[in-house]
Each structure stands twice: as structure tokens, then as C-alpha cells.
């Protein structure tokens, strides 16, 4: 039985992925920051749950020590943990910026750093780093979230060169708004009473919630894609795109070029 470690497995895509892998013959190491919030994951068959805060090196090292006592071999690590922050640059807060960087980017960095030695000693392993459509294109009010996902893309590709000799593969997975609670948990900045900002926040929030409701099959597409990737690792660094939104955005951005793509986004969002 192969083993996968999934971060942020208490809810959303992480929970759905843990469920899918456990139902299809894998043992799942599910990490999360709170067992109470991850009750549905903890109770799944073939799942071992551990507390781990990806923003904390100490927490990662403590969880790693406990995990390796019972699971000395890990085949795949899915860096899924992530949060959202929708804010205007002018009205952003240092603590909110630091938190999203700590979780979305440095969390991936720290988990990879901690488990590379495990993979290296095994002489095999795979890092699947969850990116986003935000790592593919730049959209309004995404200054901070998109920046972290772009960082995950760059970090993953650079790291992949270092690990080739040790039979360790690296990939990223990009997708749009899945029908989970993620959007409802996104931290949104104040608008400062500025009419333009108020209109933009309302528009963007409405668009994202509508897209989330429409993408009814996206979660299952994502979990099946992650399972397929895990079962057949690609030696060379690869970016996988899942769902209509990610593939459409990639096509439009590559075919239209920056200026025309930017014009379309401005018109659709700002009018």
C-alpha cells in the first residue's frame, strides 16, 4: 500500500483528496492544524491524522518525527494547505500579508525542506504542490494571493532541478474555484469608504462566488487528477491544469498576449 501525505486535509480539496486516495487503496497521512475542524477526515478508513502547522518549522519537525515512527516510507507529498486574502494594496495589513506568505508559500518551502531528506534516502518520492489559476494569470484584488501562488510555481520549478538525481519528481497543479468553503473563508480587506474600491470588491466577490457554484464537478476532477499524477509521476517538472477555467485562462493568455488579455479582464470586471 502506497502512502501519501496531504497538508491542509481537514476540509475542502484536502479532505476530498484524502477521501479519494483512501477509497482507492492508498494510506493517507492527513495533516491539519485542528482535529476538531477535521473530524470528517480523521474518521476516514486508511487515514492517519497528525497536527501540523505548515507556517511553523517547529510544528513541521515535530509532526515529521511522529509520522516517521509509524510511516518510514512516504511515496507522495501533496502540499495543499492554503488561505486567501482579497485586499487592495493601499488597505492591506502587515499581519495579513505575512500570514498568507507564511502559509501559501513558505509553508510549501518548509514542508519540502523537511521531507527532501526522507525522499533522498528512499531514492524516490514526489512533491505535488497545489498552485491555482492564480499562479497562471493575474486578476484584480489578487495582489497577495496570486503572488504566493506565483512563488509556489517558481520555487517548485527551481527545486525540481536539484532533485532529479535522487529520483524525486516535482509538479504543480493549477485550477479555478472549486465548490468548497474556501471562498467563504477568504479574508477580505475593508474598502475604506472609497466608492471605486467598494464597487470592485462587490464585483469580484460576486464573480468568484458565481464561478464557484458553477464548477460543480471540479472537486472530483481535481482529486482524480491528483490520484493519476501520484500513480504515474513525471520525471521532469510539469504544470497540470484542471478544469475549464484554468485551461481557458491559459489558452486566452497565451493566444491573446498580455495587452489584449488585460483589456478583456478590465472590461469584464471594471466595465
7 closest CA partner among 57, 67, 80: 80
**Marked catalytic residue, from 11, 22, 87, 131:** 131
**Marked catalytic residue, from 145, 156, 169, 189:** 145
**Marked catalytic residue, from 64, 110, 149, 241:** 149
Which grid coordinates are listed for 38?
Answer: 477535521
Whether 145 is catalytic is: yes
CA distance 79 to 2: 17
Whether 131 is catalytic is: yes
Whether 10 is catalytic is: yes
> Catalytic positions, please?
10, 131, 145, 149
Amino acid at each position: 500500500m502506497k502512502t501519501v501525505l496531504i497538508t491542509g486535509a481537514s476540509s475542502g480539496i484536502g479532505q476530498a483528496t484524502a477521501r479519494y486516495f483512501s477509497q482507492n487503496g492508498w494510506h493517507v497521512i492527513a495533516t491539519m492544524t485542528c482535529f476538531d475542524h477535521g473530524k470528517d477526515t480523521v474518521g476516514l478508513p486508511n487515514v492517519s491524522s497528525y497536527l501540523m502547522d505548515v507556517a511553523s518549522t517547529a510544528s513541521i519537525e515535530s509532526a515529521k518525527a511522529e509520522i516517521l515512527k509509524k510511516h518510514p516510507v512516504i511515496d507522495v507529498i501533496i502540499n495543499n494547505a492554503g488561505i486567501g486574502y482579497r485586499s487592495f494594496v493601499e488597505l492591506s495589513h502587515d499581519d495579513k500579508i505575512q500570514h498568507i506568505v507564511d502559509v501559501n508559500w513558505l509553508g510549501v518551502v518548509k514542508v519540502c525542506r523537511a521531507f527532501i531528506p526522507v525522499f533522498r534516502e528512499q531514492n524516490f518520492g514526489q512533491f505535488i504542490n497545489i498552485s491555482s489559476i492564480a499562479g497562471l494569470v493575474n486578476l484584480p484584488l489578487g495582489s497577495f494571493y496570486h503572488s504566493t501562488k506565483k512563488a509556489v510555481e517558481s520555487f517548485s520549478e527551481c527545486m525540481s532541478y536539484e532533485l532529479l538525481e535522487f529520483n524525486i519528481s516535482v509538479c504543480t497543479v493549477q485550477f479555478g474555484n472549486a465548490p468548497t468553503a474556501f471562498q467563504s473563508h477568504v479574508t477580505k480587506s475593508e474598502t475604506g469608504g472609497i466608492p471605486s474600491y467598494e464597487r470592485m470588491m462587490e464585483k469580484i466577490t460576486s464573480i468568484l462566488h458565481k464561478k464557484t457554484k458553477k464548477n460543480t464537478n471540479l472537486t472530483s476532477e481535481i482529486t482524480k487528477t491528483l490520484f493519476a499524477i501520484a500513480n504515474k509521476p513525471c520525471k521532469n517538472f510539469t504544470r497540470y491544469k484542471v478544469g475549464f477555467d484554468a485551461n481557458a485562462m491559459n489558452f486566452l493568455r497565451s493566444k491573446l498576449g498580455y495587452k489584449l488579455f488585460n483589456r478583456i479582464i478590465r472590461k469584464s470586471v471594471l466595465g
